[in-house]
Structure 1
C-alpha cells in the first residue's frame, strides 16, 4: 500500500512538473500561424487571432485568448462571420487521474455572429468544408454506436463544469433576398455548476429586434441532465417577454410561459406539464407532449380563459365617400385574388395529433362566442374537428369539420347546426347585417375542394334547411302596406304612418342548396296571424346580393270580422333585391290593385251579363205569355 502511494505521489509530481515545463517553455502565440492555416484547410475560412493566447496554471490549467475573428468569404456585407473579444477556459488536472473531467468556467465576452444570405441566395455558411471532403448533402453512413463502449475511464457521468458565462453577445441574421434583418442582443447566458444528475441554474437575458418589433426576453430555469444523458429537464421553466412596437395595441404586449419540460433523448419525446401561457389577459393552460419519430406525435389537453382579440385586430377604416369605399373594396378584392394561394397541407401526412381544447369564450371583430369545446384529430393526412361546440347568442353551435390533403388537392367537409340561436345579434356582430330577427334552428351539410377564400365561396356545395320562430323582418311593414292598400281599394282615409318599418312573423321556414357560389332558396314560407308570405329566391355569395320573388297574401278567418277581412284572396308581389348589408324591399301594391280591379271588373261584367241575360229571359217569357193570352182570346171569340 505504501508503495502504491509513493508511486501515485510520484506520478502527480511528474504531471505537475510536466505542466510547469509546458506553460513556462512553450508560448502558444508561436503557433498562431499553424492554427490559422489549419482552420483555413478545415472550414475554408480565414481565422485572425489578433490578441494574445496565454496559459493559466493556478488554480486550473487553462488558457485565455484575446480578440479572435473568423472571416467571411468575399461578397458579403460583413467582414466577419464570427468575432470574440475574449474567451477563457480551464480544467483541473488531479481529477483526471481518477477519470473525472472537471472543467472550469467557460467565459466568452463580446461574441458577434453574422449570418447572411445574399440577394442571389448564397449563404456565408455555404462551402464550410475541407477540400476533398465529401458533400455534406450526401447522407453519411449511420454510425453503429451499439458496439461502442458506453462507459470508459473518462465516463461522461464523471463530467463536471464549473459554469458558463457568456456576456454581451450579438447575433444578426440578414436575408438580403427577402429584405429582412433580425438581431439578437444577448445580455448574458449563465449556467451554474453543472454535473450529470444534479440540478443547476440556467439564466438567459436577451433583446430581439424583428423588423419593427422589439422583444425583451428573460429565461430562468433549473437544468437537470440525467446521469446517463438519456433525458434533459428544465424544471420551473419561466420565460417572460415584452414586445414593443408601433403596430402593437397600446405599443406593447406582455407574455410569459411557465412549465416543467422533460425531453427523453432515447424516444425523442418532449413533455410539458403544468403549462401556463399568457399573452396580456389571454391565458392557455394544461398538458402537452411532442414526439418526433417517423410521425410527429402530439397529445394535448388545454384550457383557455376568456379570449378578447379586439385589442389586437386593426379597426376598419371608414371611407369618406361611397365612391372611395367602392374603389377601396375593388382594390382589396383585386389584391386578395393576387395574393390567394392554396395552402400546402402535405405536412398533415407527417402528423399524428389528438387533443382537446376548451375556451371559456372568444371576442373578435365584434363577434361574441361563449364556451367552446373541441376535439382535434390529425391522422393520415386528414385534420378533423369531432366535434366543436360553442355557446352562441343564447343558443348552441355544433359543428363537425375536416380538411384533407389528397396529393396536392385540398378537400373539406362540414356539418353544422344552430339551435335556439338569436339570429339578429349574430348577423349584426358577424357581418353588420340587420334585416331579420328570431330564434333559429339551422342545419347545413356541405363539401368542397380548394381552401382559398374564392375557391370556398365558389366551390362549396351542399344543402340545408332553416326555421325562424317569433321573429321580425326589418325594412318593410307588410301589415301597414296592406292597410294602405285596403284604404285605396275602399276609398277610406289613409292609416297613420308607422314609426317602425318591420314585419312580425310567427315562423319563417325554408330549405336551400349551395352550388357554384349561389344559394338557391327553393321554398320560403313566412306565416303571421294576418298574412302569409311565400316564394323563392337566390343569394349570390360571390357578389353578396339577394334576389327574391315572393307573394304576400292577407289572411282572415271567415267567422271573424277584421280590418283585412275584405281582402281575402288578394295576392301582393314582393321583391327583395340588393346587397346583403342593405337589401331593398319592393311591394307591388299598385299591381295588386290593378289586378284586383281587373278581377272586379271581370266579375261585374259577368254579373251584368248574367243579369242582362236574366232580364232578356224574363222579357221573353212575358212576351210569350202575352202572345199566348192574346191568341187564346181570339180562339175563344172564333169558336164562341
Structure 2
C-alpha cells in the first residue's frame, strides 16, 4: 500500500515539476511570430498580438491572450478588420481520453469588427484565404486511403461519438461597424454583450444579450433572453421562453417599444407568439398588439402563420379622422424557395370599413400581387369624414377670410405620378354589396382590375345604381410621356333626378336615362382631360322633365309678344315635361357639341343644337320649340292660337347657372314671314273668288283686318 502511495506521490511531483518547468522554460509569447506567420500564410493578412499570452492549468488547461488585432489592407478607414482587448479559452484534458470535449468559459473582452466596401466595390473581406486556396492540393487518393485504413482498423460502429460541453460564453463590450461607401450606408453597433450558460447537447441552456447601435440615422437598442436546446445528434434545436425588446429612433420616427415573445419553437411544430409595437412616424402615432401561431417546416422552406390577429390604435393628421382603429385577422404562408406569400381568410376592419378575402404576393423584380376581396358595405364619404364636414359646413361667409392666408391653388396642368404602375403586376377582383362615394349610391358592385407593364386595365365594372345598371371598362397607359386613357361606359334605366341630387346637388333634369360614353384622350391633369378628350356621349331619357324652364309658358309669352300684349301671369312650376329626350354629343378640342338634340312630348316637339366649352364651362345652345297639339297644354292654358308657331329659346350661361330666354328677334322674324305668307294666300284666294273686284281697296282693307286679327 505504501508503495502505491509513494508512486502516486511521485507522479504528482513529476507533474508539478513538469508544469513548473514549462512555465519557467517555455514562454508562450515566443510563439507569437509563428502564429502570425501561419495567419499570414493562410489569410494573406497580418495578425498583431500586442498583449501577452499566458498559460492556464487550473482547473483546466488553456490560455489567456491580450490585445490582438487582425489587420486590414491599406486604403481602408480603420486599420483592423478584427480586434479585441483580451480573450480566454480552456479545455479539460482528462475527458479527452474518453472522447469528451469539455470547454471551460470562453471569454472575449472589447471585441470590434470593421467591414468596409469602398466606392469601387472593393471590400476588406476580399482575398481572405487566397494564399491557402493556392496551396498545392494533396493527392486525392490519400484521404481515401487513410479513411479506408481507418475503417478497416476500427469499424465505424465501434467508434465512440464525441460529446461536447461548454461551461459558458461571455462576450463583453463588443462592437462592429459595417460601412458601404458605394451605397452611402453605415451600420454601427456601439455595444454588444452576450452570455450563454453551461451548454451541452441534449440539455437546456439559457442565453441573454443586449445591443445598441445606429443604422444610418436610426439609433436602436435591443435586449432579450431565451432558453436553447441542441439535440444530442446536433441535428435539431429548440427555443423556449424567448423574449425580445427593442426600440429605435431617428429625426422623424420614434419606435418607443417593440416586444416579441415565443413560448416554444421547434421545427415542424406550432409555436405561440405574442407581439406589440408602439411609436410615432410623421403625423401618425400607433399602438399595436397581436398574436399568432407560427410553424417552420423541417426543411426550413415553408413558414406558416395561423390565427394572426392584429389590433392597432391610430392617431394623426394623415388619417381621414383624428383617431382610427385597425383590426386584421388572417392565415398566412410563405414558401421561401418560391419567394411567395399567400394570405387566406383575411378580415380587415378599419373603423366601419370591413373587407374580407384572399391575397398572394410573389417577390420578383416586379412583384406579383393577386387578390379576391369582398365587403358588405363601403361608405367612402363617411370613411373620409366628408359627410360630417358637409353637415358642419355653414353658408355664412367668414368675415375674417379676407385676412386669412390664401390657400395654394392647385396646378391644373400637373400630371398624377403613375410611376408605380410600372413596378407592379397586380390582378384581382372586388365585390361590394353597398357602395357610396361622392354621395353616389351603388349596390352589387363587381370590379375586375389588372396592372401590368405600366398599364392599368379595368376589365369590368358592374353595379346597380338608382334603379338602373352600369357597365364600364377602362384603360390607362402610363408608358408614354403623357399617359393615355380609354373609357367605355353604358348606363341603362337610371333615375336621373335622384342621381343628380346626390352627386351634383341639382335637380335640373328628371327621367329614366340611358347613357353611353366612349372616350379617349392623352393626359390626366384636370386641364388636359378637358382639352384633349375625344369621343362621344349618347343620351336617351324617357318620361321626365327639365326643371328651371317652363316652355309652354314661354310659348304663351311668345303669343302675347306677337300680339303686342303682356302674357297673363299664372304661377306655375318652372319645368317642362317630356316623353323622350335624345342627343349625341361629340367631344373634341375642348368642346362638346350636338346637332341632334330632340325632346318629344304629347304637346311639344323640341329640336336643338349647340355646344359647351369643357374648359370654361360656357353653354351656347339654341332650342326650337313647336306646338303639335291643339289642346289644353301643360298648365291648363290654351295654346291653340300658336299651334303652327316655332318658338326659339336660347340657353346660355354655364354648367352651374344655365339661363333660358326667348329669342325675340327670331320670333318676330318668323311672325313677319308667316304674316306675309298668309297675306299672299288670302290675296290669291280673293282673286280666284272675286276676280278683278279683289283689287278693290275696301276688300283689301277688310282682308288686312282679318289677317291682323289672326296674328294679334
Indicate the TM-score class for this superposition, using the shorter chain for normalisation. 0.7 to 0.9
TM normalised by structure 1 equals 0.73
Which residue, 513, 530, 545 being the options, matches 1:457?
530
Match of 1:93 among 199, 203, 206: 199
Determine the structure 2 residue equivalent to 1:28: 108
Cα deviations by residue, 1:503-550 (Å, 9 ceiling, x for unpaired)? 111110011211122212221000111111111121222222322111
Match of 1:210 in 2: 281
1:161 is aligned to 2:234: no
312-321 vs 215-224, which moves further: 312-321
Does residue 431 of the first structure (1) align with residue 497 of the second (2)? no
Aligned partners of 1:220 and 1:237 also within 8 Å: yes
* Distance (whole Å) between structure 1 residues aligned to residue 513 and residue 692 of structure 2: 63
Structure 2 residue 451 is matched with structure 1 residue 344: no
Q: Matches of 1:362 and 1:12 in 2, distance apart?
A: 79
Query: What is the SS of the residue equivalent to 1:10?
Result: helix
CA distance in 1, matches of 2:195, 2:309: 29
Q: How does 1:610-629 map to 2 (within 5 A)?
A: 617-618=692-693
1:395 and 2:480 matched = no
- CA deviations 1:352-397 (Å, max 9, x no partner) are x332210112222322222210122334543322211011111111
Instruction: Identify the match of residue 559 of structure 2 among 486, 489, 492.
Output: 486
Alpha-carbon distance, 1:233 to partner: 1.2
Alignment partner of 2:347 out of 237, 258, 276:
276
**1:530-583 C-alpha deviation (Å, 9 max, x unpaired):** 111111121222222322111111221599998222212211111112221221
**Equivalent of 1:239, from 296, 307, 310?**
310
Query: Which residue of structure 1 lines up, in the alignment, with residue 447 of structure 2?
Result: 374
Tell me the equivalent position of 2:613: 540
Q: Secondary structure at the match of 1:437?
A: strand
Alignment of 1:178-577 (within 5 A): 181-245=252-316, 248=319, 251-293=322-364, 295-311=366-382, 312-314=384-386, 315=389, 334-337=409-412, 339-341=414-416, 343-344=418-419, 347=422, 351=425, 353-406=426-479, 408-489=481-562, 494-557=567-630, 563-577=638-652
Change (3 A) 1:8 1:408: farther
Number of the residue aligned with 2:95: 10
> What is the deviation of 1:243?
0.7
CA deviation string 1:49-101 (max 9, x = no partner): xxxxxxxxx9972436569797999xxxxx995566x8544265320xxxx79
Q: Can you give the 5+ residue segments of structure 2 that lack an aligned partner in the other structure? A: 1-91, 125-164, 181-185, 221-230, 697-712
Where 2:410 maps in the other structure, the secondary structure is: helix
- For 1:159 and 1:384, how far apart are their aligned partners in 2? 50
Asked if the contact 2:108–2:172 (Cα under 8 Å) also holds between the matched residues in 1, the reply is no
Matched residue, 1:171? 248
Report the counterpart of residue 586 of structure 1 in structure 2: 661
Distance in 2 between the 1:495 and 1:154 partners? 110
- The question of 1:61 aligning with 2:168 is answered yes
CA contact (8 A) 2:513 2:540 kept: yes
1:582/1:325 CA distance change after superposition, 3 Å: farther
Q: Choose from 116, 119, 124 the match for 2:217.
A: 116
User: How far off its partner does 1:154 sit?
Assistant: 10
1:284/1:600 CA distance change after superposition, 3 Å: same
Distance in 2 of aligned mates of 1:391 and 1:188: 48
Contact 1:115-1:173 at 8 Å conserved across structures: no
Deviations 1:6-29 (A, max 9, x none): x9993499867631xx46xxx633
- CA shift in 2, pair 1:576/1:488, >3 Å: closer
Secondary structure of 2:530 counterpart: helix
Give the whole-Å Cα distance in 2 for the aligned partners of 1:322 and 1:215.
Answer: 36
Question: Equivalents in 1 of 2:172, 2:538: separation in Å?
Answer: 78
Higher relative contact order (CA 8 A, sep 6+): 1
- Structure 1 residues 331, 246: CA separation in 2 closer, same or farther (over 3 Å shift)? closer
Change (3 A) 1:213 1:61: same
Q: Secondary structure at the match of 1:165?
A: strand
Q: d(CA) in 1 for partners of 2:399 and 2:615?
A: 20
The answer (yes or no) to whether the contact 1:375–1:385 under 8 Å persists in 2 is yes
The aligned counterpart of 1:631 is: none
Matched with 2:131 is none
What SS does the aligned partner of 1:370 have?
strand
Please report the RMSD computed on the Cα atoms of aligned residues, expressed in angstroms: 4.4
Aligned-residue offset at 1:404: 2.7
CA distance in structure 2 between the partners assigned to 1:93 and 1:247 by the alignment:
51
Question: What is the CA–CA distance in structure 1 between the aligned matches of 2:93 and 2:676, rounded to whole Å?
Answer: 133
- Alignment map for 1:602-617 (pairs within 5 Å): 603-604=678-679, 607=682, 617=692
Judged with a 3 Å threshold, the aligned counterparts in structure 2 of structure 1 residues 192 and 232 are, in CA distance, closer, same or farther, namely same
Conservation of the 8 A alpha-carbon contact between 2:487 and 2:518 = yes
Residues 490 and 544 (structure 1 numbering): CA distance in 2 closer, same or farther, change over 3 Å? Answer: closer
What runs of 5+ residues in structure 1 fail to find an aligned partner?
A: 1-6, 46-57, 74-78, 118-123, 126-152, 175-180, 622-640
Contact 2:103 2:167 in 1 (8 A): no
Q: Alpha-carbon deviations, 1:28-65, whole Å to 9, x = none? A: 33xx1xx23x43779999xxxxxxxxxxxx99724365
Q: How has the CA–CA distance of structure 1 residues 103 and 232 changed in structure 2, closer, same or farther, with 3 Å as cutoff?
A: farther
Per the alignment, do residues 452 and 208 of structure 1 end up closer, same or farther by CA in structure 2, a change over 3 Å counting? farther
Alpha-carbon spacing, 1:112–1:497, altered in 2? closer, same or farther (3 Å) = farther
Give the distance between the partners of 1:551 and 1:620, measured in 2 at CA: 38
State the distance in 2 between where 1:59 and 1:497 align. Answer: 108
Question: Which position in structure 1 is the counterpart of 2:31?
Answer: none
| Deviates further, 295-304 or 459-468 | 295-304
SS state of the match for residue 266, structure 1? coil
Contact 1:105 1:162 (8 Å CA) reproduced: no
Structure 2 CA distance for aligned equivalents of residues 599 and 274 of structure 1? 78
Structure-2 separation of matches of 1:495 and 1:214: 69
Q: CA deviation at 1:606?
A: 6.6
2:7 maps to none
For the residue of structure 2 that corresponds to 1:336, the secondary structure is coil
The 2-side partners of 1:448 and 1:105 are apart by 65
Structure 2: distance between partners of 1:553 and 1:582: 25
Cα distance in 1 for residues equivalent to 2:615 and 2:255: 46
- Closer, same or farther: CA 342–256 of 1 in aligned 2, 3 Å: closer
